Amino acid sequence: MLTSDSDWRGNYVDTASPVMTLRPKQELDYYDSRSITLPVAVTPLEAWNLMRSEPQPLMHLAFKARDAISSLFGVKRIGGFSGARCDVAKVGDRLDFFLVEHVAADMLVLTERDRHLDVMICLSTHGRSVTITASVFTHNAFGRLYMLPVGPAHKLIVHNDLRRLKRKVETGMTQ
């Protein structure tokens, strides 16, 4: 089952999985939370590794376009996802372009902060449920303009990532 969350209390979303965001929901410029129930439990880092293990060609092109356009406005290039596996993550590490800001048995919090916006991705688990929550705070007009296409695209990307995660877990691809 794939669900989307809209209930909010403070900086934590009221779901089975604990969730962290950049700020309280009403102060965010973008918020999306999606969950899926898997046949077996996985850790947040295992979920990350499974979703990122085979970078999608379309995502590679999207990141190239993003970097080419954004760099014209002084925004740093991020390069996209490498597909590299991470066996242990600790605060201060990088998972591709994301900074690891929090690691717990049930939560992995990743951020990217730039001149146009800050983004936080929270992967959380509770039993067999995996939740991905994105929160964004924009700093300027470019950040707001940037989120016009990225917001809807991000929802689709996360939806597809969760479906791909479930398929991989169902077929035993947990390594």
What is the per-residue pLDDT for 6?
38
What is the per-residue pLDDT for 7?
34
Distances (CA, A) of 116 to 44, 68, 109, 112, 139: 28, 15, 20, 11, 5
Interhelix angle 44-52/141-170, nearest 10 degrees: 100
Write the burial class of residue 120 (CB in 10 Å: 0-12 exposed, 13-18 middle, 19+ buried).
buried
- Closest alpha carbon to 66 in 26, 35, 97: 97
Boundaries of every domain in the chain: 2-170
What is the per-residue pLDDT for 2?
37
CA 88, 89, 92, 96 torsion-angle sign: positive
Q: 10-residue block means of pLDDT along the chain (175 residues)?
A: 36 59 95 95 96 77 73 73 83 91 96 93 96 96 92 91 94 70
Strand ranges for the chain from DSSP E: 2-4, 30-37, 94-95, 98-104, 107-113, 117-126, 129-138
Query: Taking the chain, what is the end-to-end CA distance rounded to the nearest angstrom?
Result: 23
Tokens linked to 102: 């929090």
CATH code of 2-170, in short, is: 3.30.530
What is the per-residue pLDDT for 66?
75
